[in-house]
Amino acid sequence: VEDLSAFLDAITDWPNDFHGQHRKALPKGLRIRLSTESPASPTAPEYQEAATKVANLLEELGGQVTPAPWLDIEIDEFLVLWKRLLANAPHLIESRLQPITLWLRTAGKKIKKETATKTRIHLQQEVLEWFGDADLWVSPTMAIKPPKIGAWKHEDPETSFHKVLGMGVYTAAFNVSGQPAISIPMGFCRDGLPIGVQIAGRPGSDALLLQVAHAIEEAVGGFRVPFPR
């Protein structure tokens, strides 16, 4: 977290002093919501356990944790933005694109700017209303474990896209709303894959997220853990 704080200070063009703020003590009584399941994809049990562990640590540090359901929005609404963004990506050699990327880009060329803008504003409002009066929202970073290389190579692009959705169901909302979010490492699964837990905050609460991540890092004795053999 110290490295991240220094990096953010280096790339921003206004004085935030993230590096100086990240060690501040956490405010007491933070309103924290916890979700371990998404309606869009089943979540690996080890990811759920890690998110619950982080929520429990924050409760021990003075937070008020409340379990709550994850955002339930039609994936097709997010797809409008994904497609439009890829359609506008410059300097792509389409003959070299992976099938999913080409499928998204081709479909995106049919979406008008006005439609994408209207969808973005609507989704942003939906996310912020769902987030409500929470100070923080804790969840797994991903729902599914990374697939093996080539796992869906025989599937059509649309089918492959929907199978991979579990890797983004917890993170996509905050890309749309503009809220800060951080993924912290919480060890490894039994099969040796790393586990991430996402913590999201209100708009503009970047410094608070760094304080929270640093407090957890201290509580677990550092984020560097032995790799399972």
Quick one: average pLDDT of 100-111? 93
% pLDDT > 70, the chain? 99
The gap between the terminal CA atoms of the chain, to the nearest Å, is: 26
pLDDT for the residue 102:
93
Residue 59 has pLDDT above 90, yes or no: yes
Quick one: average pLDDT of 46-56? 97
pLDDT for the residue 13:
84
Nearest to 42 by CA among 114, 141, 133, 143: 143
171 and 198 in contact (C-beta within 8 Å)? yes
Sign of CA dihedral 20, 22, 27, 30: positive
Quick one: average pLDDT of 19-25? 91
More confident call, 194 vs 227: 194
More confident call, 51 vs 228: 51
Q: Spell out the residues 6+ positions from residue 129 whose beta carbon is closer than 8 angstroms to its own.
A: none
CA 183-185-189 angle, 5° bins: 120
Q: To the nearest whole number, what is the mean pLDDT of the chain?
A: 93
pLDDT for the residue 107:
94
Residue 228 has pLDDT above 80, yes or no: no
pLDDT for the residue 174:
96
Could you tell me the pLDDT band of residue 16, with boundaries at 50, 70 and 90? confident
More confident call, 147 vs 201: 201
Beta strands in the chain, from DSSP E residues, in sequence order: 31-34, 64-67, 136-140, 181-188, 194-201
